[in-house]
Amino acid sequence: MQTLLNQLIELLGARQVLTGADVSARPISWFDPAPMRAGAIVRPGSTEEVAAVVKLCCAAGISIVPLGGMTGFVEGAVPSAEQIGLSLERLNQIEAINVDNRTVIVQAGVPLQALQAFAESNDLHYPVDLGARGSCTLGGMAATNAGGNEVLRYGMSREQILGLEVVLATGEIVSNLRPLLKNNTGYDLKQLFIGSEGTLGIITRLSLRLRAQHSSYSTALVAVPDFQSLTALLRNLDAQLGGRLSAFEVMWQEHLRFVIDQEQTHKAPLSLDYPYYVLIQAANYHDLEKDIFLSALETLLEQELIIDAVIASSMAQQQALWAIRDDIECLTTGLAPYIGYDVSLPIDAMEAYVDNLTEAIRAHWPEAKVIVFGHLGDGNLHLFIHIGPDLSDRQRSTINELVYQPLASCQGSVSAEHGIGFQKKAYLQYSRTPLEIDLMRQLKKTFDPDNLFNPGAIFD
């Protein structure tokens, strides 16, 4: 390692090779304040320097964990003391925008929020949004195929990526940053790297698609009498709003009650006695669309798919409604110790899945809390489970099995948007067949035969 560190210092300069206290001064992630470990954290300033670092590490037989904004949930970027953490933080430039073509070239370390603001200043919109926007980086979001708040309308990060530049395990730079919506010229190599969690290559630059900017949002919180009405409401609203529906965030009663109880700054926007609540948002581009939104809600009230509703009449009210949905901190503090999940399954299987899971958890721990909410329009549920003041590893395993195992039989996924990392790899088998996992291994071997990049993430 020391020889490698000397080579890295010679390559990048001592300031860009952090060791010792400079490494441990950083937390493992947003969610884990424990000190980071790593033989070193290196901070190359260009794609060429990334490639040179890769070549040196490869020659030394020392593996690399690429580091983005460190906001992932699945222990996907946790170097050990025997590894090099390669941070993309200095590759933080928005390089070029083409306003006519509505595309942009960014370096991997650009934070999401910086791109959002830049797009907005050009009257355009980057349509992936998530809570970690200030820290998460576009390279990390590509490597994890990040989802978030507007997937229903625009898709995941994958759907926004037109091209990538990637440093391979050989140190070669494979680049196709063409700003084209359509490009059927052989295998679409970028797709392989998207969602590969840093195991196949290091993403250094991206060509991204931008969209038209809306002029306003219409936002409402509605109460729904039963699950069947929820699915009918989703179909109906999406049809009436012509694809402008950008959020359909469902909160089970217990979730809303918990957040309102827990955090005095939130006020109950509706009675807390309804079984389901949906935060609905549609983007408007024309004033008449506000009328369409209101008339859609009226129709749905008449049809009794909605039994109560509050419509935000100001930006402040919109933010107050979203603040309830987005208050993850009140869950992480109020439910500690807890386990959080991010699963997906077909909408028609959700009600039974949640009911059965809650029952199974309470059969073990009658006082357990099972808090459920999520991007229902995307088939994605987030679960927070708290069984009491203590949580052993063994209990954790039991709960994991209770959550993940039933997904196999209802065609669900153990990870809708967060990825696998190290945390969920024992459960990958519930969503992917042995043959699929074997093909993943073959791809890993093809692109990274020496297991240089993030070894052990996703699968062994």
**Contacts of a copy of itself in 135-174 (CB under 8 A):** 144-145, 147, 151-153, 155-156, 158-159, 172-174
Residues 86-125 that bind a copy of itself (CB under 8 A): 98-103, 123
> Smallest Cα–Cα separation from 219: which of 327, 287, 321?
321
Residues 13-32 that bind a copy of itself (CB under 8 A): none
Residues β-bridged to residue 166:
174, 203
Interface residue with a copy of itself among 413, 423, 448, 454 (CB under 8 A) is: 413
* Nearest residue (CB) to a copy of itself, 118 versus 459: 459
* Nearest residue (CB) to a copy of itself, 204 versus 284: 284
* By CB under 8 A, residue 419 contacts a copy of itself: yes
Burial tier of 55 (Cβ tally within 10 Å: 0-12, 13-18, 19+): middle
Q: How far apart are CA 81 and CA 313, in angstroms?
A: 53
Residues β-bridged to residue 224:
276
Number of helices (H) and strands (E), helices first, in the chain?
16, 20
* Nearest residue (CB) to a copy of itself, 7 versus 219: 219
> What is the smallest separation between the CB atom of 450 and a copy of itself, expressed in angstroms?
15
- DSSP letter at 263 equals -
Residues β-bridged to residue 209:
103
Residue type, 453: F
Interface residue with a copy of itself among 24, 113, 116, 213 (CB under 8 A) is: 213
Q: How far apart are CA 14 and CA 7, in angstroms?
A: 10
* By CB under 8 A, residue 71 contacts a copy of itself: no
* Nearest residue (CB) to a copy of itself, 255 versus 375: 375
> What is the smallest separation between the CB atom of 378 and a copy of itself, expressed in angstroms?
5
Residues 221-240 that bind a copy of itself (CB under 8 A): 231, 235, 238-240
Q: How far apart are CA 134 and CA 151, in angstroms?
A: 19
* Nearest residue (CB) to a copy of itself, 92 versus 176: 176
86's enclosing H/E stretch is strand 84-87
* By CB under 8 A, residue 412 contacts a copy of itself: yes
Interface residue with a copy of itself among 61, 186, 366, 389 (CB under 8 A) is: 186
* By CB under 8 A, residue 303 contacts a copy of itself: no
Please name the residue ranges forming H helices in 89-136: 112-121
Q: How far apart are CA 400 and CA 69, in angstroms?
A: 27
> What is the smallest separation between the CB atom of 369 and a copy of itself, expressed in angstroms?
25
Interface residue with a copy of itself among 2, 15, 33, 187 (CB under 8 A) is: 187
Interface residue with a copy of itself among 49, 75, 150, 289 (CB under 8 A) is: 289
* By CB under 8 A, residue 68 contacts a copy of itself: no
> What is the smallest separation between the CB atom of 257 and a copy of itself, expressed in angstroms?
27
Stretch of 58-66, 178-186, 271-279, 384-392 lying at the interface with a copy of itself (CB under 8 A):
178-186
* Nearest residue (CB) to a copy of itself, 180 versus 339: 180
Interface residue with a copy of itself among 57, 203, 241, 306 (CB under 8 A) is: 241
* Nearest residue (CB) to a copy of itself, 4 versus 357: 357
Interface residue with a copy of itself among 111, 140, 198, 379 (CB under 8 A) is: 379
Binding-residue total with a copy of itself (CB under 8 A): 97
